[in-house]
Structure 1
Amino acid sequence: MTRWAGLWLSAVMLAGCASGPLPWGASRQLQALQADLAQIAQDASSPSPSGYVIKVHVQGEQVFSRHEGLASAEMGESIHDETVFELASLSKIFTALAVMQLHEQGRLALDQPLGRYLSDLPETWAELNAHQLLSHQSGLPDLLNLWPHKRLDGLDFGAVLAHFRQSPALLFSPGTQAAYSNTNYMLLAHLVSQVSGLDFGEYLQRHVFEPADMASSSVLDAWPRWVGQQALPYAQEGKVHGIDYALMGAIGQKGSMRDLEQFMQALWQHKLVQAKTLDLMMRPHAEFADGKRYGYGWYIGRLGGWAGLSGSLPAQAVGHTGRLGAFRTALYFHRERRFQLIMLSNGGPRTEKLLTQFLKTTRDRLE
């Protein structure tokens, strides 16, 4: 995910074949929202094979749903709820969740130096702690934005650590600033693996995917149990950026719309972490130079960081977006007003522009 994803987060958090009739008693506000989103989708119909799946839920009821385009033009496979997409930076939500599960169990202290848990770190990294990584306050450089794609081809985190042992300098003193860095979440995935004794993908499989019934989710194809066709990145050829990504934690996760709906249900019901832990994740722990706030794995605020904080703490609204090659993803929810917005797409700028319209319309109606 590039640094532009932070800008895109300001614009893309939402969703939208028009759904069936709203439940009896639904408000005119929701009926108007449904009509507006349907019109946007109709006006934006395109002959491009790329597409998206997008859904809006309010009070547990589906208000709007749309599927458009192909997962694979060669196979003629249409996008549907079980189509598997690259989640890009939505992966960070799950990495943070894994860390907080270990924290709940007393196996990982957020304020303790990483050197207490990891023996293979560059010297300047050993004094960092999980809190600083989760909230992007570590000072670690963002290698996904610093290094060319060819250098990242097949690169695993062991190779990343080997590089930084030779060049361990931080960008700023930890805890003094906040700067979004994918490296933070790669290191957190390594931390989860070392503390749990499981490969990171296996940890998520046992402790997140299976409890939440996320049947088609995996990390770096570690669990290739696809229920549906995997979406290809349109505007690319086969591979994302033409390379094989072997890094995980910040990116690397795959999943479907059905999976993310199951995940949100499990999150609402506190099946994955306790309510107090979710509260901690939804507090603003850092503020970036552009004013956006970040918790643990979530942008915080009225629109996931777009326009300041909710009226109370912990924040009622959080979200994240992802951008990797032609994939664009978004997950946003508001606890107080009880609605959620999920989007997965493989159409690059075309679907990004469309989803900006979905976002603005839904924001105006519901917030």
Structure 2
Amino acid sequence: MLMIISVLLFITGCNNSGKYKTIETGVQTNLVTTLDAVLEANLNADGPGLIVSVWQNDKNLYTGMKGVARPMQPISEDTQFRLASVSKTFTAVAILKLYEQGLLGLHDSIVDYLPELDSSWQEISIHHLLTHQSGIPDIFNDLNTHEVINNDITNPKILQYFIENHQLEFGSGRKEEYSNTGYILLAEIITKVANMPFPEFMDLEIFAPLNMNNTYILDEDVDITERTAMNHAQHHQIYGRNVFAVGSSSQVSSMHDMERFMYALMAGKILQAETMRLMLKAHISKADSSLNGTGYGIFYFSGDGKTAYGHSGKHDGFRTIYAINRDKNAFIIMLGNGGDYMPDFTYVMDLAGEFLE
């Protein structure tokens, strides 16, 4: 099988929550007919949908899609989806690029880079943010974001909130608790250290070198492109608000661009070998992790805590996931805008896993 993935529920909410029961079409004669069948049975051609891509040994085994990105615009490999929390992997890679350049240390205090934060946060390091060990409340899951942030939800507003409200949930490094806030602060640190806006740094260091021409960071200063999928194929707001949580969930990418990134990451073309080792190290053990081990911007999905890793996301109707199996030299990517009314991601991945050698 591609991976053991049932433990994803805590992080992503990718599985359906009772609103829709996946029609299980079972294993067919080959991968293409198997995945085509499950998409055909579970999605409407004129409703929000999903695109799936499976690769092994640098060869595309399957790419299939069904549904629309917005009214009258079918999903394609160039459709741009909000990646939700899959954005965190890219933010972690950006931090590691700065680390390689000698511009920051992973165990530096975040207050060294964001001195406007309260001095009581001095013990919180970049490492703690990367591994969800900071103790900083999650702006989305621990707080009622719509009450503490007025109107559009942006990084400057979130940063200001935590400048004024610096109570931690636990001491840094004591345990792991998933925090979107940590990755928002990482984006702010990147802006300070690189001396340029986060979206500009991401384009310069990651997107442009990999020819990720359908990828951008959606913040309050960027116009949404015509190829960007709508939430439930109806609107661009998230739970009724404009959300620009840069660093945590605001990257927009196409399937073509995600494939380029996955290939380059696996081939060692983005980070140096030693840096990649740091990224994939299980800094939090399986026993103490929400999943089977936590690296920098990734979680381990497989029970052995070393074979299959990746990240996934949920942002209102957007559902995303990528998973890499190192032993099988394979990866799978799924990008959707149909919320809970899509086939269960776990089921689709299990079907794909049946055909990996």
Fold in common (TM above 0.5): yes
Label 1:150 to 1:229 Cα distance change in 2 as closer, same or farther (>3 A).
farther
Match of 1:297 in 2: 297
- Give the drift of 1:9: 6.0
- Give the drift of 1:48: 5.3
Secondary structure, aligned partner of 1:143: coil
- 1:255-286 Cα distance to aligned partner (Å, 9 max, x none): 11011011112213322211221121111112
Q: What does 1:154-165 align with in structure 2 at a 5 Å threshold?
A: 154-165=152-163
Label 1:184 to 1:258 Cα distance change in 2 as closer, same or farther (>3 A).
same
Counterpart residue type for residue 6 of structure 1: I
Q: Normalising to structure 2: TM-score of the pair? A: 0.86
Q: What does 1:332-347 align with in structure 2 at a 5 Å threshold?
A: 332-347=323-338
Matching of residue 123 in structure 1 with residue 119 in structure 2: yes
Gaps of 5+ in 1: 12-28, 310-314
- 1:38-73 Cα distance to aligned partner (Å, 9 max, x none): 332233243551111111011111111111111111
Label 1:291 to 1:300 Cα distance change in 2 as closer, same or farther (>3 A).
closer
Distance 1:357 1:94 in 2: 26
Match of 2:96 in 1: 100
Q: Which runs of 4+ in 1 moved over 4 A?
A: 221-226, 287-291
Match of 1:110 in 2: 106
Alignment check: 8 A CA contact 1:40 1:357 kept? no
Query: Which of 120, 144, 147 is equivalent to 1:147?
Result: 144
Alignment check: 8 A CA contact 1:89 1:251 kept? yes
Match of 1:358 in 2: 348
Q: What does 1:153-192 align with in structure 2 at a 5 Å threshold?
A: 153-192=151-190
Secondary structure, aligned partner of 1:216: coil
Alignment check: 8 A CA contact 2:43 2:67 kept? no
Identity %: 31
Label 1:157 to 1:219 Cα distance change in 2 as closer, same or farther (>3 A).
same
Structure showing the higher helix proportion among its residues: 1
Counterpart residue type for residue 70 of structure 2: S
- Give the drift of 1:144: 1.2
Distance 2:195 2:271 in 1: 20
Matching of residue 244 in structure 1 with residue 242 in structure 2: yes
Label 1:255 to 1:150 Cα distance change in 2 as closer, same or farther (>3 A).
farther
- Give the drift of 1:167: 2.3
- Give the drift of 1:98: 0.3
Distance 1:355 1:147 in 2: 28
Label 1:65 to 1:235 Cα distance change in 2 as closer, same or farther (>3 A).
closer
Matching of residue 325 in structure 1 with residue 316 in structure 2: yes
Alignment check: 8 A CA contact 1:329 1:345 kept? yes
Distance 2:29 2:101 in 1: 44
- Give the drift of 1:224: 5.5
Counterpart residue type for residue 8 of structure 1: G
- Give the drift of 1:170: 1.1
Counterpart residue type for residue 190 of structure 1: E
Distance 1:51 1:252 in 2: 20
Distance 2:273 2:32 in 1: 31
Q: What does 1:80-95 align with in structure 2 at a 5 Å threshold?
A: 80-95=76-91
Secondary structure, aligned partner of 1:168: coil
Query: Which of 72, 79, 84 is equivalent to 2:75?
Result: 79
Distance 2:94 2:258 in 1: 16
Query: Which of 41, 58, 61 is equivalent to 1:60?
Result: 58
Distance 1:114 1:240 in 2: 29
Matching of residue 6 in structure 1 with residue 11 in structure 2: yes
Matching of residue 135 in structure 1 with residue 117 in structure 2: no
Q: Report the RMSD for the aligned CA atoms in angstroms.
A: 2.5
The number of equivalent residue pairs is: 335
- 1:204-257 Cα distance to aligned partner (Å, 9 max, x none): 01000001110011111566695x621111176442212111321111111110
- 1:68-120 Cα distance to aligned partner (Å, 9 max, x none): 111111xx111000001111001100000000011111111111222233322
Distance 2:145 2:235 in 1: 18
Distance 1:356 1:291 in 2: 15
- Larger RCO: Structure 1 or Structure 2 (Cα < 8 Å, ≥ 6 residues apart)? 2
Counterpart residue type for residue 197 of structure 2: D
Counterpart residue type for residue 327 of structure 1: F
Counterpart residue type for residue 185 of structure 1: Y
User: Which stretch has the larger CA shift, 356-365 or 204-213?
Assistant: 356-365
Match of 1:312 in 2: none
Q: Normalising to structure 1: TM-score of the pair? A: 0.84
- 1:111-147 Cα distance to aligned partner (Å, 9 max, x none): 1222233322122223211111100011110011212
Alignment check: 8 A CA contact 1:55 1:341 kept? yes
Secondary structure, aligned partner of 1:240: coil
Counterpart residue type for residue 186 of structure 1: I
Label 1:33 to 1:43 Cα distance change in 2 as closer, same or farther (>3 A).
same
Counterpart residue type for residue 360 of structure 1: D
Distance 1:257 1:201 in 2: 19
Distance 1:225 1:50 in 2: 18
Secondary structure, aligned partner of 1:242: coil
- Give the drift of 1:347: 0.4
